[in-house]
Amino acid sequence: MSVRKYISIILLWSCALNAAAQTSEPATQSKAQPVSQHHLMPVPSSVRFNQGRLSITKSFTLAAKGYVDDRLRAGVDRMIKRLEGRTVLEFERGLLVDANAATLVVEAQGAGYDVPSVEENESYSLEVSDKQATLRAPTVVGVLRGLETFLQLLESDREGYFIPAVQIQDQPRFRWRGLLIDIGRHFEPMEVIKRNLDAMAALKLNVFHWHLTEDQGFRIESKKFPKLHEMGSDGLYYTQAEAREVINYARERGIRVVPEFDIPGHATSWLVGYPELGSAPGPYQIERRPGIFEPALDPTREEVYKFLDQFLGEMAALFPDAYMHIGGDENEGKQWDRNPQIQAFMKKKGIKDNRALQTYFNQRLLQILKKHGKRMMGWDEIFQPDLPKDTVIQSWRGPKALAEAARRGYDGILSNGYYIDLMQPASAHYKNDPLPADSGLSLAEAAHVLGGEATMWGEWVSPETIDSRIWPRTAAIAERLWSPREVNDVEDMYRRLNIISVQLEELGLTHEKNQQMMLRRLAQGKQVRALQTLVSVLEPVKEYRRYQQRPQTMLSPLTGLVDAARPDSEAARRFAALVNELLLDAPRFESRAFEIENTLSDWRGAGTELEAMIDASPALHEAAPLANDLSQIGAAGLEALSFLRRGVAPSTQWRDSRLLMLEQAAKPKAALEFPIISSVKELIIAAYELPQLKTMPPSEWRKRVKQLVVGAKQ
């Protein structure tokens, strides 16, 4: 899409919102007014809300015009079931023939690709008036995307359920919008994969990247080389029939399945059954630790290529997607360095180093994949000057690497910045653009940036916790990859994310509900309210710090407090907003102060209440210092608030002792940390500076507090 087109789309979008925002009629007339806030995610490329609404009652009916097939029928049935679930209304089943009488008319022009393709046209238009909704699309996949939008438009008030009158024209900004799930480190059963495919479809993601092999597990059945899955997986693998089931399930939802077989490194599990493929004699065992390991395929032996030809050929027949991912990351070549036969081979062929040797390996792989009709895809490391131009680079190292590949004419997708295993907030991922405005790429070069993928690396996820690491944050990434670049209001993203997160539960996702269950187990059936308060203001440590704090293996239980905690604390965000408003908005000080006081009292009380429970639950002993911290944080915040309220400044000694306490509380414990520290620090500093602040206008106040908080961080 051209830049000019983006701009006009955005203008249309913001005009619609502005027009809506200017509406200030009394609530009783709201029926006739356009909506001022929608909760669409991803935001369509163009939305215009109109006057009026289409009622959704039990006489809701649906008709299909144009092209109709089983995939479309199944998609419509799923949508209707969800609409019924939300409204508790029972509709008539089946597609009506008479389109004039239907509440919703869907009209596909054609089937689109039989095997989901990166070329698929996913666009659609949706027009809703007070009489009827019409969804039109060139392909069945476009209709599926539009049906998700239709569901997201559902609203209700005292008069019932309705869809606001609206005109939507929509198409994705990027063609490749994926989610990688690593089931090598931890296996995930079929139902986990399926419910995540449902969630992907709800957010209009279109690539499931199935990371099928790792040092820690070989997870796909091979009929040609059965020792791969039999000896490399602890019995936890997908049969080929199951893989076909997943591929079909994904296809039904307009989602491609790109399989990854990570070689030559990350390959320990291959070598358990076939040590002769390795660059050292073995024997090998399934790796249980996280990290980067030495075992690598031997790129100098013809038997290895013969094996790969047969194995990848078998997989090429199983997986219909045009692309096959061969990994290629993090091979340090230590086994290669120590193998005299490999060294002699390099010398003979004039291969100067391990990078060049891996390029040689990739060139051979490329021939194999070509023979089996696949385009090769790999991580940054496979990018070499003489790599053929039809190879796709997946960048985990950064947008610069991606831009460089695009400049040289290679297709690429971005994953750096979308590593959801690193426990960053949704806002960080949301701001990460595969093609930022200042990329410096020409339009032709920019066209090589196909999109991006969220990566759910599997070191520390189980079937019980994985949804909570993927959702709802991945919805923010889905929006970044679908919506225009200019849709980038973080606060509004969070507002919509909260609504979408609840909607995902209707698909069976467990990201919200499993936390309560895990806390109940930790509390051995006791009241979890206080534990819930504690965990609501904790986040797992970021990046790769978890393992340092909590050395576990792939066999360890993932049922501790850190596993119950979620990566982007909404309670902390809400508290930060309250403190911000309190310090910014002097006239409304008291209403904010009241809410803040309640929250802080809750924290102080929970910390104390938890002592007995922690005492009686050995699995919670590690939480004792956290509970103590929370009490102290709550108490210090309450003191600060009291000083602020009374307009009395505390002593320097008070301030210093409270800041010291916060410094201690800020240190991670049990692989968890408090994201509320800086907000409480603001309260403490504001209280101390009060005599100065009182003489300033509120806007100055706020600036000064911010400066002081930044200063106090050193």
> Which residues of the shown chain bind ligand ACM in the complex (CB under 6 A)?
329-330, 379, 396
Nearer to ligand ACM, 303 or 332 (CB): 332
Q: Where are the alpha helices (DSSP H) in 431-512?
A: 443-446, 466-470, 473-482, 490-505
Between CA 359 and CA 365 the distance in angstroms is 10
Least CB distance to ligand ACM at residue 331 (A): 10
Contact of 143 with 125, CB cutoff 8 Å: no
* Residue recorded with tokens 């080929």: 240
- Identity of the residue, 174 or 379, whose beta carbon is nearer to ligand ACM in the bound complex: 379
Minimum distance, C-beta of residue 330 to ligand ACM, in the bound complex (Å):
5
**Nearer of residues 53 and 211 to ligand ACM, judged by Cβ:** 211
Residue among 262 and 467 whose Cβ is closer to ligand ACM? 262
Q: How far is the CB of 327 from ligand ACM (least distance, A)?
A: 7
For 97, other C-beta atoms within 10 Å of its C-beta total 10
- Residue closer to ligand ACM (CB basis): 291 or 647: 291
* Omega cis (within 30) before 264: yes
CA angle in degrees (0–180, nearest 5) for 146-151-156:
145
Find how far residue 46's CA is from the centre of its chain.
24
Question: Which among 513, 531, 559, 540 is positioned nearest to 616, based on CA atoms?
Answer: 531
Q: How many residues does this entry show for the chain?
A: 714
Alpha carbon distance 62, 422 (integer Å): 43
Q: Write down the residue that tokens 């308060």 correspond to.
A: 533
Ranked by CB distance to ligand ACM, the top (closest) residue is 329
C-alpha closest to that of 60 among 139, 154, 140, 126? 154
Task: Report the chain's C-alpha Rg in angstroms.
Answer: 28
List, in sequence order, the alpha helices (H) in 176-260.
Answer: 190-202, 227-232, 240-252
Q: How many other C-beta atoms are found inside a 10 Å radius of the C-beta of residue 40?
A: 19
Distance of closest approach, residue 397 Cβ to ligand ACM, in angstroms: 9
Q: Is 330 one of the catalytic residues?
A: yes
Q: Give the Cα separation of 547 and 527 in Å (integer).
A: 30
Residue 461's nearest CA partner among 558, 567, 544, 546 is: 558
Phi then psi dihedrals of residue 131, to 5 deg: -105, -35
Nearer to ligand ACM, 149 or 269 (CB): 269
Sign (positive/negative) of CA torsion 179, 183, 186, 189?
positive
**Of 31 and 542, CB closest to ligand ACM:** 542
**How far apart, in whole angstroms, are the C-alpha atoms of residue 476 and residue 452?**
12
Minimum separation from the CB atom of position 451 to ligand ACM (A): 17
Please pick, among 330, 445, 570, 597, the residue that the annotation labels catalytic: 330
Residue nearer to ligand ACM on the CB measure, 214 or 568: 214
434 exposed, middle or buried (CB, 10 Å; 0-12, 13-18, 19+)? buried
> The tokens of 162 are what?
């309705």
Cβ(410)–Cβ(393) below 8 Å: yes
The minimum distance between CB 672 and ligand ACM, in angstroms, equals 24
Smallest distance from ligand ACM to CB 232, Å? 19
Report in angstroms how near the CB of residue 153 gets to ligand ACM at its nearest.
38
- Closest separation in Å from C-beta 182 to ligand ACM: 9
Angle, alpha carbons 550-556-558 (nearest 5°): 75
What does DSSP assign to residue 279?
S
How far apart CA 125 and CA 83 sit, in angstroms, is 20
Residue among 379 and 418 whose Cβ is closer to ligand ACM: 379
Whether the Cβ atoms of residue 534 and residue 607 lie closer than 8 Å to each other: yes
Helix boundaries (H) for 465-588: 466-470, 473-482, 490-505, 513-522, 529-536, 545-549, 561-564, 570-584
Task: Indicate the helix (H) or strand (E) that contains 208.
Answer: strand 207-211
- Report in angstroms how near the CB of residue 396 gets to ligand ACM at its nearest: 4
Give least dist CB 421 to ligand ACM, A. Answer: 9
With respect to ligand ACM, which residue has the nearer C-beta, 336 or 396? 396
**Residue where the block lists tokens 């599926």:** 144
Nearer to ligand ACM, 210 or 396 (CB): 396
What residues are annotated to the active site? 330
